[in-house]
Amino acid sequence: MQATIWHNPNCGTSRKTLAILEAAPDITLTVIEYLWHPYKKEKLEQLFADAGLTARDALRTRGSRAEELGLIDGATNDTILDEMTSDPMLVERPFVETEKGVRLCRPQDKVLEIL
């Protein structure tokens, strides 16, 4: 099975999710450090749709500029997506995609749903 994780090595939950993926048998893993390789808007739209989330649901409010940018109250999904592509720290983490689906893996055990 192919799995892709959008990973931030400074995030404990992201590291724990990556460890689960690395320990899983028969996984071909792609790790994308999204701070160095930012998301494209189309990919975010696809990940959120496949995970059953809106951009607002996936907005990282803690440790980001979301409030400063006015994204918490009243911003449209398109506005949030545009800001997320400009500043990937605005995207909650980690996202994992497999052929079984996409999950925002908070907590990290949510990854088991798509393995």
> Which listed residue (11, 24, 29, 35) is catalytic?
11
Which among 67, 95, 92, 71 is positioned nearest to 83, based on CA atoms?
71
Measured torsion, CA atoms of residues 56, 58, 60, 61, in degrees rounded to the nearest 10: 30
CA angle 95, 35, 41 (to 5 degrees): 65
Q: Catalytic: 105?
A: no
Beta-strand runs (E) in 8-70: 28-33
Measured torsion, CA atoms of residues 19, 25, 26, 31, in degrees rounded to the nearest 10: 0
Q: Which residues have a catalytic role annotated?
A: 11
